[in-house]
Amino acid sequence: MEGLLDFVLRDILTRVGGIDRCVSEFIRITDQLLPERVFTRIVPELLSGGRTFAGVPVRAQLLGSDPACMADNAARLASLGPAGIDLNFGCPANVVNRHGGGAALLKEPETIHAIVTAVRRAVPAHMPVSAKMRLGYLDDSRAVECALAIAQGGADEMVVHARTKAQAYRPPAYWERIADIRAAVNIPVVANGEIWTVDDARRCREVSGCNMLMIGRGAVVDPGLGLAIKADMQQVHVEPVTWAQLLPLVLDFWHIVTTRLDNKAQAGRLKQWLNFLRRRFPEAEVAYQAIKTINNPAIVDAWLLAQTAPKLTPKTAETI
């Protein structure tokens, strides 16, 4: 999820809990061997043992269409110590697809097989190689064929987003097609797509037959979703994450943004997350409306600090 679920949000969301593993946004591979600094810029967790601040492992994702070049870059990436390497066969963005990457490769199962095979051979045997795919490009007629190409190429695991490129992110997700793929391959399959609530997660597991789920935008909207899904699977009760619990993490998010990102991008990143959060938290709607026209980081900073400042009641004011 380029431009959204970057290292900043990976850091914050994994602090909440309920997430076993992360996958980075994609690193685009064209026709050259990238320098190490490109990998560490996009996946700075490589500088801390391939894990987030909370200790959650991060697999670094590559996107490209040339098997040899993908293999060379995978080998260099592997030397930096990620928790695994993931391959992107699902990105629906036109700018990616018209250059033959992402979901466009779902029209070419033989190329998918060649890429997975080359990458698997290029990295150490102990390092997991996984792949994410959609159900197809214009339709899902080759979904099982593409999944078999991934599995037979030597991948250890695959994630299936239960829509085609043409369906983009429009509901519904066709979880039943994940069940068809799962029946055809001999590696673990992770279900993905339209998981916004615990009920969604429960139905996805039932329909797809998968006991592993990947959540993306759902976790951005509700950072406690992973915890809630795990609790439901274990049949235990857990209280929903409240805004009061989340607000300190919003401040931590802002601190990372203001110290690690370019000044011009800082306010926009906070607004972007608040825009998602307001679907779940009324308080986030208030925050979004308060800062949506502000681009000065200093003013945003002052407003956020005011939200966490102790509120004086008349009694405490008299005491002071």
Do residues 181 and 160 lie in contact, with contact meaning Cβ atoms separated by under 8 Å?
Answer: yes
91 is a catalytic site residue: yes
- pTM (two decimals): 0.93
CA–CA separation, 35 vs 178, rounded Å?
Answer: 37
Do residues 46 and 82 lie in contact, with contact meaning Cβ atoms separated by under 8 Å?
Answer: yes
Query: Per-residue pLDDT for 184 more than 70?
Result: yes
The residue whose two tokens read 């951005």 is 220
Fold for 243-308, please state it: Bacteriocin As-48; Chain A (1.20.225)
CA–CA separation, 30 vs 208, rounded Å?
Answer: 34
Give the residue ranges of DSSP H helices in the chain.
7-16, 36-42, 67-78, 94-97, 109-122, 143-152, 175-184, 198-208, 217-221, 225-233, 243-260, 263-277, 282-291, 297-308, 314-319
Per-residue confidence (pLDDT) for residue 1, from 0 to 100: 62
Catalytic residue among 91, 146, 204, 210: 91
CA–CA separation, 137 vs 294, rounded Å?
Answer: 40
pLDDT digits (tens, 9 = 90+) for 207-255: 999 999 999 999 999 999 999 999 999 999 999 999 999 999 999 999 9
The residue whose two tokens read 């037979």 is 152
SS3 (DSSP) at 190: strand
Q: How many CB atoms lie within 10 A of CB 318?
A: 8
Per-residue confidence (pLDDT) for residue 278, from 0 to 100: 97
Per-residue confidence (pLDDT) for residue 316, from 0 to 100: 44
CA–CA separation, 104 vs 225, rounded Å?
Answer: 31
Give mean pLDDT, residues 40-68: 97
Token pair in block for residue 72:
């060379």
The residue whose two tokens read 């998968």 is 210
- Domain parsing of the chain, residue ranges: 7-233, 243-308
Query: Per-residue pLDDT for 313 more than 60?
Result: no
Give mean pLDDT, residues 76-101: 95
The residue whose two tokens read 């068809």 is 180
Query: Per-residue pLDDT for 308 more than 80?
Result: no
User: What mean pLDDT is reported for the chain?
Assistant: 94
Per-residue confidence (pLDDT) for residue 311, from 0 to 100: 53
CATH number for the region 7-233 comes to: 3.20.20.70
User: Residue 243 burial by CB count (10 A; 0-12/13-18/19+): exposed, middle or buried?
Assistant: middle
Per-residue confidence (pLDDT) for residue 15, from 0 to 100: 96
Per-residue confidence (pLDDT) for residue 312, from 0 to 100: 45
Confidence of residue 26 (pLDDT cuts 50, 70, 90): very high
